[in-house]
Each structure stands twice: as C-alpha cells, then as structure tokens.
Chain A
Amino acid sequence: MTIKGQAYIVGAFEHPTRKAADKSVAQLHAEVAFGALADAGLTASDVDGYFCAGDAPGTGPLSLVDYLNLKVRHLDSTDIGGASYLAHVAHAAEAIAAGRCNVALITLAGRPRSEGMATGTAPRVRNLNEPELQWEFPFGLTVANAYAMAAMRHMYQFGTTSEQLAWIKVAASHHAQHNPHAMLRNVVTVEDVVNSPMVADPLHRLDCCVISDGGGALVVVRPEIARTLKRPLVKVVGAGEASKHQQGGEIDVTYSGAVVSGPAALAEAGVKPSDIKYVSIYDSFTITVLIQIEDLGFCPKRQGGRFVSDGNLIAGVGRLPFNTDGGGLCNNHPANRGGMTKVIEAVRQLRGEAHPAVQVKNCDLALAHGTGGLLSTRHGSATLILERE
C-alpha cells in the first residue's frame, strides 16, 4: 500500500501566541484544533480520527478527546519527539487509506516559556525505568550538549566551521523579519552568531532555537472530502520514518535517521531532491539543519557547510529556500517540538499563502522533515513530501 494521493491536508493553523501565561496546555490544544478546522471549513463533529504526541496532557489522547468532546473511531499517539506531527500526517493518510477515519485532526501545544523550563541546558529525569538514564543523567547530558557533540564531530571529521553553521541562523533571520509573530525579527549576521555567548561548545546562543509557548494543528482528509472544500489542494505524496540511536556503542553522530526516512519519502513520491521547491527542515539547532540537508540528499555528506553558506537557504536568494516563517531558530518552537510548524509553513508555501517577501514562486512540491529527540543519542526522523494539486 502506498499513501501517495490517499489524503490531503485541508486545514492548518499556527497559534499566534509565543507566551501564554494565562492559558492551559489543554486550552491551547483546543484553540489550535478549532483554528485548523475553521481553516478547512469543517467542524469538530466532522472529526473521526485524532492524533497527538507527548505534549498532550493526560493519558495519551484520552484527556484531549474528552476536553475537546470529540467522538472519534481512530486514535494515534505516536511519540517520536518533535518529529511526531510529521509522522502523524503519514499515519493519518494510512488510516484514511485503510478506512479507519475520514477526517483526522492532529494537535500540538505547550507552554515551556511560561513554565520557565530550562529546555536545552539542564539535564532532565523523565522516568526511572528509562534504560539509558543511569548511563546519561549522572554525566549531566543536556539537549544542547547532545546536539553540540554532533556539531563538534562534524567539524572534526569534515572541516565544517562555526561560520558555516551561522549562515543557517542568518537565513532564518532573513525570513523571520517578515513574520510579525516571530520571537526574533532582527536580521543577524554571521559575526552576530559566532560572537554570541557559547552555550554548548561549539554551539553559540544564536545557534539554538527559541523557547516559546504556542502550538499548531492540522486537518488531514480523504480526497473526496478535500475536493468538496474551498481550500487549495495539498496532497500527501510521500512519507518516510526512521530512528537513529547509539547502535550498541557503534556510535556515529555525523548522520541522522534522515538517511532512511528521506529516500523512502522521495521514492514513494517518485521525485528527486532537485525537484523540491521548498523545504521545512527541523531547526532545533543550526547543526540539525546542516546534517539533515546532507542526509536528505540536497548535497553530499561533508559538503553541508559549503551548501548552507552565502545565503543558499534564503528565499529569493539561494537554491533551497527553507523555513520561510523563521523556523524554530527565530519564529517559535512550541512545546519544544518543531515538527508541527514545519508542516504548517510547507502548507502555506504550497497554497501560496506564505508572506509575499518569502513566497517561493510556483511552489508545487515541498519537503518537510523533522528530527525528534536528541541528534547524538537517539532520535526519530520523519519526512513528508507534499504536492499542490
């Protein structure tokens, strides 16, 4: 079975808030859910499939289907960190193709900023039964350091430089200046990035994404329903999933699960990297983008540094416009999970609804990709190929 052409994204909504001190996580989920349904021209009573991940408060999806008062016949709470929502779109397409549901709602929300969470720089204990906990927590592993070790090795093995990584932030900032909701709207230079304080060597403060509250939601439906709605048709044409981990100690942090999920998605869609007009690439840190771009096949391994330099990721300037909303690096990173906003901006581009200053001309094929978890220890990868019909 292929999911190619089996489902369409008809609703997409990104919460405008970046700090939601006066709202609960459940309320944020509800606001994005109803925002995406309104965008699609559907209502809650049309929804018969619900998808959420680890940001949802409660027992998997149960608390939220109760809160939203949804009556569904299909539930999925696959959690591969920030990449979950890309996987949810593929899983929704599979469920629709299998006749399990017709209208799938996917939501994400969180408020780490209001809760004062030290997202990237403090070690966290989640569950004492985690097999890796005793081998990582005593050593103070943090999110930022886990990504930084991939950067350090990439630099050592391939000659990648801090200045090359900085170009990724520079490109994101060029896009964010046009987004009134973005947390960081000032255009920055390579010098600004490399002169910002070191957080986790070799990553500087400006190599890191923002910490924000907010959320987003998507509505995925079967083709017959999509054609009755008034929105531009954004078709799901390919998907891939993978995990990458420590491999029993045979560790190689220079590549990600995108080496599996990317080619799988491209093959299902029947397209090549050079056919893609726009990419949403998970940007928890600058190094995340560079490694994924290599792994997805936009340039050979070890050449990512050169590829991202000199504005090559800036819309209207370079060959591969990316994250035209400003991405996690400048716009937002709701619930510390960036996969949802990656899909939403790809949908905007395919609909022609991105900001005019960053809208890619004739954008009919987009790739969205996420890395959830930690780049150098264990992570999930999910790739989606979307086409405007």
Chain B
Amino acid sequence: MATIRSIPAPHPHPETQAFWDAAANGKFVIKRCDACGKAHWYPRPICPFCTSPATRWVEASGRGTVYSYSVNRHADPLYIIAYVTLAEGPTMLTNLVDCNPEEPLMGRAVKLVFTPTEGGPPVPIFTLA
C-alpha cells in the first residue's frame, strides 16, 4: 500500500471559489441547474446542458462507483487516478486512496474523503465504500 502522495493545491477561479470554500468546511457540493434539473461536472456558472445561468450549488452525497481508473506506476509513491460516477449522475476525475491497486476496482462502490493539499483547500478523493 502506497503512502499518500503530496497533492498540489487547486487553483480556484472566481466562479468556483464557493466549491473550494465549502470543501474547506468539509462539504462536497456540485452544480445543479434549476432550468433543466440536471447536475453537471466540473462546476460551471452556465449549465453545459441547457445554457441556463440558473445553476445552484447543492450538497452531494459523496457516494459513487468507479467508472474507470489507472495507476501511475512511474510516481513514487504510486497513485490511482479514477473517473467516479456520482450518485447524482455526473462522472468526475479524482483519485482512489486506501485501496489495493492490484485488486480489480472497476464498478466498485466508493465514498468521498476530503484530502489535504499543499497549502490549499482539500480535494474530493474517494475510497472503497
């Protein structure tokens, strides 16, 4: 089992600052559109599905399943990059931690764990549920 790698701080943009502020308070939020009702990822002020500006931050469950993943074997410690499909619908790029990269992980149920970064807000990462 690899030790946790050091994660660089995310670089927030004005329209995503609220996401990172919520993350700093341990809350995982995503954007949902009031016009078409759909949640999207990554968060945008204008809905990528219907172009409505009526998007709103909503707290997400932090539950999902592994859509795909890959291990960076060149890194030390090695780490797992993954696409996780959230219970709310969208699929997001993230990491999987505290799981064995030699084990099949496709389709596995996962849950969110906020993980500290180098001097920035924590990032949403997942572990086996």
Contact = CB atoms under 8 A, between A and B. Distances in A.
Interface of A: 118, 121-122, 128-129, 131-142, 144-145, 148-150, 152-153, 156, 197-203, 246-251, 253, 376-377
Contacts of A200: 70-74
Interface string B66-100: 01111111110001011101000111111100000
A138 B70 contact: no
Which of A140, A153, A203 has the largest number of chain B CB atoms within 10 A? A140
Contacts of B107: 156
A98 to B, nearest CB: 32
B5 A140 contact: yes
B67 A142 contact: no
7 contacts: A133-B11, A137-B10, A145-B72, A152-B68, A200-B70, A200-B73, A253-B67
Nearest to A201: B71
B42 A135 contact: yes
The 3 closest A-B pairs by CB, nearest first: A249-B90, A249-B41, A148-B70
A376 B70 CA distance: 12
A200 B70 CA distance: 6
B87 to A, nearest CB: 13
Interface residues of B, number: 44
Contacts of A128: 11
Contact of B95 (A140, A144, A202): A140
Contacts of A249: 39-42, 89-92
A149 B73 contact: no
B89 A201 contact: no
B123 interface: yes
Contacts of A140: 5, 7, 72, 75, 79, 81, 95
A251 B42 contact: no
B68 A149 contact: yes
B8 interface: yes
B73 A152 contact: no
Contacts of B123: 138-139
A233 B36 CA distance: 53
A172 B30 CA distance: 44
B68 A138 contact: no
A253 B81 contact: no
Contacts, number: 124
B93 A248 contact: no
Contacts of B62: none
Contacts of B7: 138-140
Contacts of B8: 137-138
Contact of B93 (A118, A121, A136, A197): A136
B101 A201 contact: yes
A251 B68 CA distance: 10
B16 A152 contact: no
A202 B71 CA distance: 8
A135 B92 contact: yes
B83 A248 contact: no
Contacts of A149: 68-70, 81-83
A147 to B, nearest CB: 8
Contacts of B38: 248
A199 B81 contact: no
Given A137-B8, A137-B10, A138-B7, A153 B71 contact: no
Contacts of A137: 8, 10-11
A132 to B, nearest CB: 7
A138 B81 contact: no
Contacts of A132: 42
Contacts of A134: 10-13, 16, 42
Contact of A138 (B48, B75, B117): B117
Contacts of A376: 68, 83
B106 interface: yes
Contacts of B9: 138
Contacts of A129: 13
A137 B48 CA distance: 22
A306 B12 CA distance: 45
A198 B9 CA distance: 28
Given A150-B68, A201-B73, A201-B101, A377 B93 contact: yes
A145 B68 CA distance: 10
A141 B73 contact: no
Given A156-B107, A251-B67, A199 B73 contact: yes
